[in-house]
Amino acid sequence: MPRYEPIGPGELVARIAERVLARAGRAVVAVDGADAAEPESLAAEVVSHLREVGRAAASVPLHGYVRPASLRLEYGRDDVGSYRDAWFDYAALDREVLRALRERGRYLPALWDEAADRSARAAIRDASAGTVLIVSGPMLLGRGLAFDHTVRLVLTEPALLRRTPEDQRWTIPALLAHAAEHPEEPDFAVRWDHPGKPALRIAD
């Protein structure tokens, strides 16, 4: 059985940042977690920590890479298969963030405005030689994306039910199925049922 040890939220951020800082050059980090886990919040904390120690860093939320509503909602507003496979444009994320950063030293922080359902009209940003991008959102792992470091925020089904708004609970089967089919271990596997008291998986 995997072993977990309690870790303070601040120490978790510091450990993630320490791993990133040990690597020279540009890097892309995944913070994989259901919306109920608020992965964007952890990503923002890591970005802030990195900037405080002089490393260029920025956050890229996966929700800036949703597909247009005409594609997301083609089979209805609560289709589980659509949420898992058609909601987010992982291919565009790979092209405009991961590969763009590595191959051209630049990246697009957002592609689509989910609320307005139109182009995000975001400007392409240049990245310095040591820039770190923290990509955050659901079901990032298991997509064949070549992240340099990975964090997975693990919520049990009861925690997902408790923390997911009622009108979004239809997404839970997709989240659970994806996690079950892609159990590969991230660099940091974190039990996240109680974000104020996380627990970090310890390597055997």
- Report pLDDT digits (tens) over 34-52: 999 999 999 999 999 999 9
pLDDT, tens digit, 9 for 90 and up, residues 50-86: 999 999 999 999 999 999 999 999 999 999 999 999 9
Please say whether the beta carbons of 138 and 153 come within 8 A. no
Superfamily grouping for domain 3-199: P-loop containing nucleotide triphosphate hydrolases (3.40.50.300)
CA triplet 123, 67, 116: central angle to 5 degrees? 65
Q: Which residues pair with 28 in a beta bridge?
A: 133
pLDDT per residue over 115-128, tens digit each?
Answer: 999 999 999 999 99
**Is the pTM here over 0.85, yes or no?**
yes
Burial of 176 (0-12, 13-18, 19+ CB in 10 A): middle
Identity at 23, one-letter amino acid code: R
User: Rounded CA gap, 114 and 130, in Å?
Assistant: 30
pLDDT beyond 90 at 144: yes
d(CA 64, CA 6): 32
In which band, very low, low, confident or very high, does the pLDDT at 2 lie, cut at 50, 70 and 90? confident
> Per-residue confidence at 184, pLDDT binned at 50, 70, 90?
confident
Read out DSSP for 5-32?
A: EE--HHHHHHHHHHHHHTS-S-EEEEEE
Whose CA is closest to 195, among 83, 36, 82? 36
Q: Is the pLDDT of residue 204 over 80?
A: no
Give me the pLDDT at residue 31, please.
98
Boundaries of every domain in the chain:
3-199
